[in-house]
Amino acid sequence: MLIRTFVPRFFIKIKGVNTLVKDKSVLEMRNIHKSFPGVRALQGVDFTLCEGEIHALMGENGAGKSTLIKVLTGVYGKDEGQIFLKGTDNEVSIHSPQDAQRLGISTVYQEITLCPNLSVAENMYIGRTEGIGQNWKKMNRDADKILQSLDIPAKSTQQLASCSIAVQQMVAIARAVDMDCKVLILDEPTSSLDEQEVAKLFKLMRELKAKGVGIIFVTHFLDQVYEVCDKITVLRDGQLVGEYEIKELPRVQLVSKMLGKDLDDMSDIRSESATYDKEDASTLVFEANELVSDAGIKPFDFYIKKGEVNGFTGLLGSGRSECVRAIFGADRVLGGTVKKNGKTVKITKPLDAMKNGIAYLPEDRKVDGIVGDLSVRENIILALQVLKGFFKPFSKAETYKFAEEYIKLLGIKTASADTPIKSLSGGNQQKAILARWLLMNPEYLILDEPTRGIDVGTKVDIQKLVLKLASEGMSVTFISSETDEMLRTCSRLIVMRDRKVVGELSGDDLSQNKIMSTIAGGGRE
Partner 1 sequence: MQTNTQKPGIGKVGTKIFRQQIFIPIAALLLLAIFNLIRDPSFYKITFGYNNLGDPVLSGSLINILDYGSELAILAIGMTLVTAASGGQDISVGAAMAISGSVVLRVLCGTNTRPETLQAPIIVAFLVSCVVAMLFGAFNGVLVAYFKIQPMVATLILFTAGRSIAAWINNNELPIISDPSFGYWGGFIPGIPIPTPFFIAVACMIIIALVLRFTNLGLYTQAVGINESSSKLNGLNPAFIKFLSFVILGLCVAVTGFIKVSRFSTINYSVIAKDIEMDAILAVALGGNPLGGGKFNISASIIGAYVIQFLTTTLYALKVPSDALPAYKAVVVIILVVLSTPIVREWLNNLWKKMKSKQIKEVA
* Nearest CA-CA partner of 495 in 474, 508, 512: 512
Instruction: For residue 340, report the phi and psi dihedrals to the nearest 5 degrees.
Output: -120, 120
User: Is 67 among the residues that bind partner 1 (CB under 8 A)?
Assistant: yes
Give one DSSP letter per residue of 412-452, joined into a string.
---S-TTSBGGGS-HHHHHHHHHHHHHHT--SEEEEESTTT
| Cα–Cα distance measured from residue 364 to residue 429, given in angstroms and rounded to the nearest whole number | 12
Q: How far is the CB of 101 from partner 1 (least distance, A)?
A: 23
User: Is 367 among the residues that bind partner 1 (CB under 8 A)?
Assistant: yes
User: Is 11 among the residues that bind partner 1 (CB under 8 A)?
Assistant: no
Q: Which of 75, 295, 374, 510 forms a contact with partner 1 (CB under 8 A)? A: 374
Which amino acid belongs to residue 120? Answer: V
User: Is 378 among the residues that bind partner 1 (CB under 8 A)?
Assistant: yes
Given a contact cutoff of 8 angstroms between Cβ atoms, the answer to whether 147 and 154 are in contact is yes
Q: How far apart are the two ends of the chain, measured CA to CA in Å?
A: 59
Q: How far is the CB of 392 from partner 1 (least distance, A)?
A: 8
User: Is 387 among the residues that bind partner 1 (CB under 8 A)?
Assistant: yes
Q: How far is the CB of 63 from partner 1 (least distance, A)?
A: 11
User: Is 81 among the residues that bind partner 1 (CB under 8 A)?
Assistant: no
Whichever of 91 and 322 has its CB closer to partner 1, that residue is 322
* Nearest CA-CA partner of 498 in 318, 358, 265, 366: 318
Q: How far is the CB of 366 from partner 1 (least distance, A)?
A: 9
Kindly indicate which of the ranges 114-122, 171-179, 276-284, 372-380 contains the residues binding partner 1, using the contact rule CB under 8 A. Answer: 372-380
Number of residues this chain uses to bind partner 1 (CB under 8 A): 44
Whichever of 70 and 209 has its CB closer to partner 1, that residue is 70
Element (H, E) at 340: strand 333-340
Q: How far is the CB of 370 from partner 1 (least distance, A)?
A: 7
* Nearest CA-CA partner of 458 in 491, 475, 434: 434
| Cα–Cα distance measured from residue 71 to residue 27, given in angstroms and rounded to the nearest whole number | 13
Q: How far is the CB of 360 from partner 1 (least distance, A)?
A: 6
User: Is 12 among the residues that bind partner 1 (CB under 8 A)?
Assistant: no
User: Is 74 among the residues that bind partner 1 (CB under 8 A)?
Assistant: no
User: Is 372 among the residues that bind partner 1 (CB under 8 A)?
Assistant: yes
Whichever of 425 and 483 has its CB closer to partner 1, that residue is 425
Interacting positions 296-335 with partner 1 (CB under 8 A): 328, 330
Q: How far is the CB of 263 from partner 1 (least distance, A)?
A: 24
Which amino acid belongs to residue 110? Answer: Q
Interacting positions 123-182 with partner 1 (CB under 8 A): none
Whichever of 222 and 382 has its CB closer to partner 1, that residue is 382
Kindly indicate which of the ranges 102-110, 118-126, 188-196, 385-393 contains the residues binding partner 1, using the contact rule CB under 8 A. Answer: 385-393
DSSP E strands in 150-283: the ranges are 183-187, 214-218, 231-236, 239-245
Whichever of 428 and 480 has its CB closer to partner 1, that residue is 428
User: Is 3 among the residues that bind partner 1 (CB under 8 A)?
Assistant: yes
Given a contact cutoff of 8 angstroms between Cβ atoms, the answer to whether 308 and 475 are in contact is yes
Q: Which of 28, 30, 57, 62 forms a contact with partner 1 (CB under 8 A)? A: 62
DSSP class of 391: T
Whichever of 171 and 383 has its CB closer to partner 1, that residue is 383
User: Is 397 among the residues that bind partner 1 (CB under 8 A)?
Assistant: no
Q: How far is the CB of 405 from partner 1 (least distance, A)?
A: 19
Contacts of 112 (CB under 8 A, 6+ apart): 165, 168, 169, 172
Instruction: For residue 492, report the phi and psi dihedrals to the nearest 5 degrees.
Output: -150, 135
Interacting positions 27-56 with partner 1 (CB under 8 A): 36-39, 41
| Cα–Cα distance measured from residue 429 to residue 134, given in angstroms and rounded to the nearest whole number | 46
Strand 239-245, strand 231-236: pairing: antiparallel
* Nearest CA-CA partner of 4 in 58, 76, 53, 68: 76
Which amino acid belongs to residue 197? Answer: E
* Nearest CA-CA partner of 383 in 342, 427, 410, 353: 353
* Nearest CA-CA partner of 17 in 7, 5, 8, 28: 28
User: Is 362 among the residues that bind partner 1 (CB under 8 A)?
Assistant: yes
User: Is 350 among the residues that bind partner 1 (CB under 8 A)?
Assistant: yes
Q: Please compute, for residue 399, the number of CA atoms within 13 A of its CA located in the half-sphere on the CB side.
A: 19
User: Is 354 among the residues that bind partner 1 (CB under 8 A)?
Assistant: yes
Residues 400-429, one symbol each (x = binds partner 1 by CB under 8 A, - = not), give ---------------x---x---xxx----
Q: Which residues pair with 57 in a beta bridge?
A: 218, 233
Whichever of 125 and 478 has its CB closer to partner 1, that residue is 478
Interacting positions 426-485 with partner 1 (CB under 8 A): 436
Q: Which of 28, 32, 59, 66 forms a contact with partner 1 (CB under 8 A)? A: 66
Q: Please compute, for residue 329, the number of CA atoms within 13 A of its CA located in the half-sphere on the CB side.
A: 17
Q: Residues interacting with partner 1, by CB under 8 A?
A: 1-3, 36-39, 41, 62, 66-67, 328, 330, 349-351, 354, 360, 362, 367-374, 378, 382-383, 385-387, 389-393, 415, 419, 423-425, 436
